[in-house]
Structure 1
Amino acid sequence: MDWLMDREPHQTVISIIGMGGSGKTTLAANTYNNDDVKKHFDCCAWITISQAYELEDVLRSLIKEFHDSRNETIPADLNSMNYRLLVKTLVNYLEKKRYLLVLDDVWDTNLLDEIKLLQNEEAWELFCKKAFINCTNGSCPLSAHIVSVPH
């Protein structure tokens, strides 16, 4: 719980790994349901991942669970949203929030890479929105100089 509740604004990933029946889900549930932990976050979501998950369904579940945790109305068009709109909705929703997400029963660790939410295009869009807040539509002005730095 200390790892989850430190005051530093950063992403923390805690993996609980072990054999089936060893109490991984119980440990995570006891932490997730703790009142002190819940109070520390703006919203929370617990998602159980099937072995044959569809990423868009996972994103829909995340949006639904985060809204439910704050007793908010779920977007009416949630079921008709495509991947790009789901990501945009989720990123906009979580943008200024401290949130807790539990992914239970993950069989494929590639999900963690897929669910980081910001692909290159979405990351650039969010950067421009923040960096060029005073410009038209929050977009990069034509006179800006863009420098690409390799990883």
Structure 2
Amino acid sequence: MDLCFSILSNRRSSQSLIKELFKENMEATPNEIQKMDYRLLVDTNISYLRRKRYVVILDDVWTMDARSQINVAFPDDKCGSKIMLTTRQEDVAFSSSSSLRGIGSHVFHLEPLRDDETLTLFYKKAFWNIQERRCPRELEPLARRKVL
């Protein structure tokens, strides 16, 4: 199985995302990839993935248009490939649930973390090298202002 993982945000073009997928996953990236237009990139990606099984995770998709432009770049050869996306936009989630392979009608609503959970997660990530992964007391007010 080929695993493609990328982040799609409102600041990245579909074309740059497909180029990044090439660089991450192809054994030999075509030399002319930087000069390819969107249509040629899509066709090349489809040719590369044809009859392969893959998983694509699109994170932080903001618009239905961006989701559609990426979706066409992945062939559906009935090999069990999956496309999963995350979004904060309810319209994107519900439009995707019926049009993306592998998602079907599975839309999961996640609740935001509580303030104490947010700080705990931040401390674990930011202070991973400090014993007990705790924020130093002198930095707690700053951490609270920045994180909450």
Confirm or deny a common fold (TM above 0.5).
no
Q: Which has the larger radius of gyration?
A: 2
Relative to the length of structure 2, the TM-score reads 0.45
The structure showing larger relative contact order (alpha-carbon pairs under 8 Å, at least 6 residues apart) is 1
Question: TM-score with structure 1 length normalisation?
Answer: 0.44
